[in-house]
Structure 1
Amino acid sequence: MGYYAGWAAYQGYTPDQLPAEKLTQINYAFAEIDPVAGRIALGDEPNDLKNLKALRKLRSQHPHLKLLISVGGWSDSQYFSDVASTQARREKFAASCVDFVVEHGLDGVDLDWEYPVSGGAPGTIHRNQDKQNFTLLLQELRERLDHQERQDRREYSLTIAGAAGAWYLSQIEPVKVAALVDHIFLMGYDLHGTWNSRTGLNAPLNPVSHASQAGGSIAGSVQAYLERGVPAEKIVLGTPLYGYLYQGVSSRNNGLYSTYTSGKSISYQTLKKTYLASSAYRQFRHEEGQVPYLYGNGTFLSYDDAASIAAKASLARSLGLGGVGFWELSQDSGGELVSAAVQALHSSWDNPFRDVLPGVWYEDAVRYVYEREMMQGTSASAFSPNTSSNRGMLTAILYRLEGSPRSGEPPFTDVAADAYYGQAVAWAEKHGIVQGFDDGTFRPGARITRQQLAAVLFRYADFKGEAGRGRADLSAYQDGNRVEVYAREAMAWAVDAGLIQGLADGRLDPGGTATRAQTAVILQRLCEQVLEA
């Protein structure tokens, strides 16, 4: 689910541009509370009515989509305490919300009270009784929506937005609230921001061991909800489509945990266009928090990218949460982060690699070789898809395919028997799958080219009796004549078997380095199209 803010239309991002096919619910933000009447009200009526009409049209094209009106938010939560304070006021406000939903053809109400009891924007009214009154307000809304359901014979949803942090859970009645709502949008962001005295990470996935990063973590926030009795399926993990920009920042520690002179929020779309595209800013990734950040020109930026958003969606999937959500959809107008989250949420494998994003062209291949123990990560959380494959690594992979038979001493001066590829090289050389150099070396760490990869795999397929007779005409490729003599038959076989394909510009690129991602893809094809065919 995602929030769509009415003001986004003024910036050119209209409801028809929303990625409805990737969403099940859109919350329109925000309606406000009329303090005199104690009823729901629109703050920018002409624009809001136009947007609501466009959203209904969008839903007609995507019937699975639910549209909810969201009330409150940071700027418009001043009067929640008042409308929740007595039974009569709760009844009036709840009735106005249901009337609004029916009048505008919506599917429910989302309450974004920031916050009961304490906190929120200056001027927000608080009462000690807000904790209990919030539950009573939700109960009144739930009963009225249920009554309307029976009349209209259609479902109406009731949801809320909740802050990330145990402090918020002490200001509501979590179990009672969860029983009344369809889900809680856990606002998984603003754990650190421009209200802090030093720069920091907006939404780290995991705890960060630094005194300046005292706001906790997303994983910790989810755990706090679960420990307070909120069912996992009632939690939608909200993710930020924005970051924070800090200026006047020291270069020490690349700007992280530094003092600053000014700061503001920045959308991912703007950050990508202005900062990620500039060579003046260096990109870093916080290994503990599993989120990226930038530094350059005295400016520090904390944000989320496709990898970190996918990691959060994977957390939601692994814990059986109700889903993932986004604030705010116009800030990712290209849909890059939303797509990464949706693909990760629906992924069918427990991907340990933060650098293998859901939906990338090599994801299935990495899963294939990883689950069959043909290839491993370069660390527990990284596959390094763009790193070059080398001769030792490829030989070890083929050796694992053969069940790792004991093969004696490797015959090369630079291959130790106890190296991870030692026995593999001895086995492969014995069967003519790999060869050494004239100086008696094997050079296991040398990068392997595409034609070298083809040659080794061809010899392996021949060893297995699976080389066949099919050979492609390499002259069909503009650089087919650049394949070296030793690899011509092997490359012709690999192309005919579908293992190696031409690049988008019509080249085979025989001398180009084979990356780990390419190697994974080719190995999957070898197994499925040659060895298992």
Structure 2
Amino acid sequence: MANREFKCRAGCQSTCERQADCNPGWDGSQWSKQDKCPLNVCCSRHGFCGFTEEFCDGKEVQRPSCSPKDKPVSRVIGYFESWATSERSCFTMSPEEIPYGLYTHIIFSFATIHPQTFEVSPGNSQTEYIMSRIGAIKLVQPDVKVWVAIGGWAFNDPGPTATTFSDLAASEAHMERFFTSLIKMMNTYGFDGIDIDWEYPVAPDRNGRDEDYKNIVSFMRELRHRMDQHKKGVSMAIPASYWYLQHFDIAALEAAVDWFNLMSYDMHGAWDIDNRWTGPWANAHTNITEIQLALDLLWRNNINPNKVTMGMSFYSRSFTLTKPSCNKPGCRVSSAGNPGRCSGTTGVLLHAEIRDIIKKEGLKPVLHRDAAVKTVSWGNQWASFDDLVTWRLKANRFRSQCISGFMVWAMSQDDQSYTNAQALNSALERPTMDLPDFNQKDVPADAVVESPPKLCRWTSCFEGCPSGFKEIQRDGHKEIMMDTTQCPGGTGHGFIRFCCPADQELPVCTWRGHKNSGNCSPGCKTGEVEVGTVGSGCKNNHQSACCSEGKGTAAYGKCSWTGCSKNPQEACRGFYPYFVVASSVASGGAKSCGKSQKRSYCCAEPPPAEFSDKCDWHKKAGFLTDKQYAYVCEGACPSGQIRLSVESGLTVDGDGCYGNVAFCCPEPAPPTTKPSRRDDFGSTQAKEFELLMQKYMENPTCPAAILQPNLHDMFNGGMPAKRSIEMEAREYDILRGRAINCAMDNWIRLLSYATLMFTMNKKALDPFRKVWDSEFAASYDTALEYSALEGFFRDYPIFDTRGVIEYILYNPLVAGAGVRRARNAREVFCERSSSRRSLERRDDQGPLWARRVWAWGGGTNDVPGLETILEGIRVGHLTLHYARWQYQEGQATASAPGPILELAYWIGPQPGVHTEDAELDQYRDTTARNAPDDRWVVFHLHVDPTREWLRRINGHTYLGVDYLSVYHGQEVRGARGRYAWRVQNIDSGYLNARDGFSCDSVGDGLWYVGSPRAVEGQEPWYQLVQEWSEVIYNQGYVRSPGIRLILEGGNPPSGEIDPQDPGVLALPNTQTNAASGADPYTINWLITQGDRYDFFPPAPPSS
């Protein structure tokens, strides 16, 4: 049958040129692409590479084996997203909120590489700002290591950086620029290591090239070399997919990294649905069975388990079920799952979101022990996730394979209670660390420890006794204790002498063991110690130099010479078990041992003791410098060292010398003062904070008058503008103190401590709070006391702690009134809405940068206050240039996705027309800077459509907003396609943040703009805000005419909008009738007399 010939019928084609993946044992290699499979996986009998049973035919992988109890976890790494404060509306995390003690390493993700210059940088101001704060945790946890990651999945997506890694690794010139800029950035921001996340080399679908396979090894080896020079670490993220991992030469890469970070998650996701190999089935993305197959790829290549870090995830991959009744793993799915309210991405749910869903829907998760995952389903939605139970199952499996490192993507996806991190820490059986005791303590004086006595010693042939020492007289003789046998003829004094410290009681010394027969009998009497030997006058054995035991000689009595032995290291036993040195002639006078034998000097205590482990052999000590003595050994020790032994210089390795070499030990060093057993680390940090605060109080105008640092948006996630390199270098001298009161690093450290004090809700930080209250708040305003501000941050999570602290310390005289005004704005303007949302740690940073308007306070000499701006509007110095609806997607707002009404006021009486009137400067930020003048003041009113954003009050409909923000603008972003022009901020100066006020107190307050409010008797600030709100209401911008632009349908079609039937809120890329069939989020407009629209407001200035 096998030999039967078949004829090809009509239409058939030959594929004889095709080759198998591998050679399963065929005689020739012409039938396969390669003999072996990548990563040492199995070659099937048909020539296909794989690693499952059908390929390997029973060949088991040899996995490392350990007892989990004997393999404690040594490394827990948390990846921190640089967008953690700016691309989620909840479950965000600021750098100062990183939990104490739960991670050993933090990896900041990501820095970027410029695709043309190949220089490393943060990439944008938001990333730069967060990067500058990531090291704050080191103030209280100095042993935590902070690394930076470069790359990521999106880095290799189609776009400017798609081939940047490939281009970089292929060029030495590109690599040199990369390394230089990388080291500079790491030093600037205090990073301890670098994590390379190249996703992925070679792979065609990830813009890789064939040459990447070799180039990545060369690149990583050179990176390792550069980082070693700067004592920084190196790691690499690798995939858990054979498809991508086959392009990594992991055996060669292993030596270049401290460890691999195995991305053992995302095993499944919505991408499976259209893949014929995986299919549209509900599968867990952290299934331990599939993770083990990935891990086996490493074991097939003998990767050291100490160099493997297993990946865990704080998020899930979710699906939409085809049939809700089929809701188990393996059921058919139709699409990715619905986006979470915080994550906002289809097919992704944070674990924190899943916990909320479980609580809301009353779900009971199902444990799949074999897969080490849990699953839940509700309606047509399905998700898998991990918790304490499944992490423990995974951890035990991996630790049993000798893995002690774990990492998480992403630590910044945790909730406010760090539920995930706490559970993972428990699953890994790591003890929970307590914060240090920061209470200041008076550390008791250390007990006085006597310095060890100086030891008696033998000199060399070329010197007298050292300074402070005396020669020792031989007992009963007029001569001194000396030996002439060890000195080469024609040099020096011709003898060595025994000297002891002059400030001690001098010992009584003599030579013992001489016999007239020449058969000497060495040894000392009770109460004496042997300090040396001499062979003169002895045919057999030698004489002993014996001294009474005292401070200067006792150390010699703790050690003893043995007889000759072929294994001197093993000769030390009994009372003297610790080996120090071996010599054929002992201390110099013993008869030389036979060939291949030596005597051992053994001590009762292990080095380091009086004779430490830093002892060494010396040929010369600098006495014989003339060329004629180049090959003469001196038998001498360097100054301050004690000679214990000598040996013939002709027996030493390398270039020998004539005479003796000396074995010398440094004399015992004075003891280092032992610190108190009580850990005073905490008090040191509290004391530093106190000193920083005292320096600030000596000159509280320093930040505003001298430093002029970047100030950031007081709403969560605000971005600074780019500054000069010189200013950047000053500000990011991260966490290093200088003794200059008005210094940028003092300002940064003060801000870091203060922000930690408010964000780490731990009682252990009370000492810092006491300092804040006593040194700072007591001098200014009770509204600035810790308890008052802590309550403010709790009630108004929309405000960014760091930004508010900057504002307070920058404006201490008016800050108290500003905080009080911001809090009271809710009481004056805001009402409780009928629906309530509760968002955790929200953020309000969109792509809108601006210079500052002090909405909270009365302004400064350079920066206008909001009341000044509103007064200018009232008197006509500022005129409305245009109104515009924008739509924020929720990834960059403090609330749910929703509309923002933008009102841009021109600084001047006629929009778009510049005037030289100096009086208008009062409405500008005139802080010295190299930037265009402010030309607009822009107001943003944010609408949260998940709440009661329309309300009928006294027969009229009012627009409810949850916050107001105000900023300056300088330039125009020109019209683009269907998008009209608008104001943008390009400020490169110091002050560039948005301010405003928020109604949002745990998610239930709204300001119904223009509604009647009782502001009589309030500060002018409140009266001006109320007057302005009534004006824009009466003009129609926050009344039905302005609101109707973003609604379609509803009842009635004209006139006052009915809040009970307002119509459908338009989303981006849709049209409304009121906008004349246009997308309402793309047009500028004004409202004229009779509530008519003007869709052609005055043009912007040409320059």
User: Which bin holds the TM-score, normalised by the shorter protein?
Assistant: 0.5 to 0.7
How many Å separate the matches in 1 of 2:151 and 2:107? 12
Deviations for 1:324-383, whole angstroms, at most 9, x for unmatched residues? Answer: 1100112222322322222232369xxxxxxxxx99xxxxxxxxxxxxxxxxxxxxxxxx
| Map of 1:243 onto structure 2 | 316
Residues 1:21 and 2:86 are matched in the alignment: no
What displacement does 1:61 show?
1.5
Residues 322 and 80 from structure 1, CA distance in 2 versus in 1: closer, same or farther, beyond 3 angstroms? farther
What displacement does 1:85 show?
1.3
Residues 1:52 and 2:135 are matched in the alignment: no
| Map of 2:429 onto structure 1 | 346
* Structure 2 residue ranges without an equivalent (≥5): 1-76, 157-161, 274-279, 338-346, 434-1103
| Map of 1:319 onto structure 2 | 401
Residues 1:113 and 2:220 are matched in the alignment: no
| Map of 1:182 onto structure 2 | 258
How many Å separate the matches in 1 of 2:269 and 2:102? 29
What displacement does 1:255 show?
4.7
| Map of 1:134 onto structure 2 | 216
The answer (yes or no) to whether the contact 1:189–1:202 under 8 Å persists in 2 is: no
**Higher deviation after alignment, 52-61 or 294-303:** 52-61
Residues 181 and 268 from structure 1, CA distance in 2 versus in 1: closer, same or farther, beyond 3 angstroms? same
| Structure with greater helix percent | 1
The answer (yes or no) to whether the contact 1:110–1:160 under 8 Å persists in 2 is: yes
Deviations for 1:229-267, whole angstroms, at most 9, x for unmatched residues? Answer: 211000110101100222253134315331223331111
Matches within 5 A, 1:277-296: 277-279=359-361, 281-296=363-378
* Structure 1 residue ranges without an equivalent (≥5): 150-155, 208-216, 349-357, 360-533
> If you compute each CA radius of gyration, which structure gives the higher value, 1 or 2?
2
| Map of 2:303 onto structure 1 | 230
| Map of 2:114 onto structure 1 | 34
| Map of 1:148 onto structure 2 | 230
The answer (yes or no) to whether the contact 2:352–2:414 under 8 Å persists in 1 is: yes
How many Å separate the matches in 1 of 2:251 and 2:116? 32
The answer (yes or no) to whether the contact 1:82–1:125 under 8 Å persists in 2 is: no
| Map of 1:455 onto structure 2 | none
Residues 1:331 and 2:413 are matched in the alignment: yes
* Other structure's SS at 2:154 match: coil
Deviations for 1:423-478, whole angstroms, at most 9, x for unmatched residues? Answer: xxxxxxxxxxxxxxxxxxxxxxxxxxxxxxxxxxxxxxxxxxxxxxxxxxxxxxxx
* Other structure's SS at 2:334 match: coil
Normalised to the residue count of structure 2, the TM-score between the two structures is 0.29
Deviations for 1:292-312, whole angstroms, at most 9, x for unmatched residues? Answer: 111121111122222112222
How many Å separate the matches in 1 of 2:214 and 2:135? 35
Q: Find the partner of 1:303 among 365, 373, 385.
A: 385
The answer (yes or no) to whether the contact 1:246–1:260 under 8 Å persists in 2 is: yes
Q: Find the partner of 1:83 among 146, 163, 168.
A: 168
What displacement does 1:146 show?
1.3
How many Å separate the matches in 2 of 1:61 and 1:136? 38
| Map of 1:9 onto structure 2 | 85
Q: Find the partner of 1:165 among 215, 235, 241.
A: 241
Deviations for 1:185-229, whole angstroms, at most 9, x for unmatched residues? Answer: 10010111110112433334433xxxxxxxxx1222222212222
* Other structure's SS at 2:319 match: strand
What displacement does 1:119 show?
5.9
What displacement does 1:60 show?
2.2
Q: Find the partner of 1:276 among 358, 368, 371.
A: 358
For residue 133 of structure 1, what is the amino acid of its counterpart? N
| Map of 1:488 onto structure 2 | none
The answer (yes or no) to whether the contact 1:21–1:62 under 8 Å persists in 2 is: yes
| Map of 2:714 onto structure 1 | none
| Map of 1:70 onto structure 2 | 149
How many Å separate the matches in 1 of 2:361 and 2:222? 55
| Map of 1:93 onto structure 2 | 178
* Other structure's SS at 1:62 match: coil
What displacement does 1:282 show?
4.5
The answer (yes or no) to whether the contact 2:366–2:374 under 8 Å persists in 1 is: yes
The answer (yes or no) to whether the contact 2:282–2:333 under 8 Å persists in 1 is: no
How many Å separate the matches in 2 of 1:291 and 1:119? 32
Q: How many residues align?
A: 330
For residue 406 of structure 2, what is the amino acid of its counterpart? V
How many Å separate the matches in 1 of 2:167 and 2:284? 32
The answer (yes or no) to whether the contact 2:106–2:144 under 8 Å persists in 1 is: yes
| Map of 1:266 onto structure 2 | 349
How many Å separate the matches in 2 of 1:188 and 1:159? 16
What displacement does 1:316 show?
2.8
* Other structure's SS at 1:292 match: strand
The answer (yes or no) to whether the contact 2:395–2:428 under 8 Å persists in 1 is: yes
For residue 168 of structure 1, what is the amino acid of its counterpart? Y
How many Å separate the matches in 1 of 2:395 and 2:405? 8
Matches within 5 A, 1:442-457: none
How many Å separate the matches in 2 of 1:128 and 1:49? 34
Deviations for 1:88-109, whole angstroms, at most 9, x for unmatched residues? Answer: 2222222222221112211111
How many Å separate the matches in 2 of 1:174 and 1:321? 17
How many Å separate the matches in 2 of 1:283 and 1:337? 16
Matches within 5 A, 1:470-509: none
Residues 347 and 145 from structure 1, CA distance in 2 versus in 1: closer, same or farther, beyond 3 angstroms? closer
The answer (yes or no) to whether the contact 1:323–1:345 under 8 Å persists in 2 is: no
For residue 111 of structure 1, what is the amino acid of its counterpart? I
The answer (yes or no) to whether the contact 1:241–1:268 under 8 Å persists in 2 is: yes
For residue 335 of structure 2, what is the amino acid of its counterpart? T
Identity among equivalent positions (%) equals: 25
Q: Find the partner of 1:220 among 293, 297, 315.
A: 293
The answer (yes or no) to whether the contact 2:388–2:426 under 8 Å persists in 1 is: no
For residue 118 of structure 1, what is the amino acid of its counterpart? A
The answer (yes or no) to whether the contact 1:26–1:68 under 8 Å persists in 2 is: yes
What displacement does 1:137 show?
1.0
Cα RMSD over matched residues?
2.2
* Other structure's SS at 1:32 match: strand
The answer (yes or no) to whether the contact 1:193–1:199 under 8 Å persists in 2 is: no
For residue 290 of structure 1, what is the amino acid of its counterpart? A
For residue 231 of structure 1, what is the amino acid of its counterpart? N
* Other structure's SS at 2:196 match: strand
What displacement does 1:13 show?
1.3
* Other structure's SS at 1:43 match: coil
For residue 326 of structure 2, what is the amino acid of its counterpart? N
The answer (yes or no) to whether the contact 2:104–2:144 under 8 Å persists in 1 is: yes
How many Å separate the matches in 2 of 1:110 and 1:204? 22
How many Å separate the matches in 1 of 2:377 and 2:368? 13
* Other structure's SS at 1:293 match: strand
Matches within 5 A, 1:187-226: 187-197=263-273, 198-207=280-289, 217-226=290-299
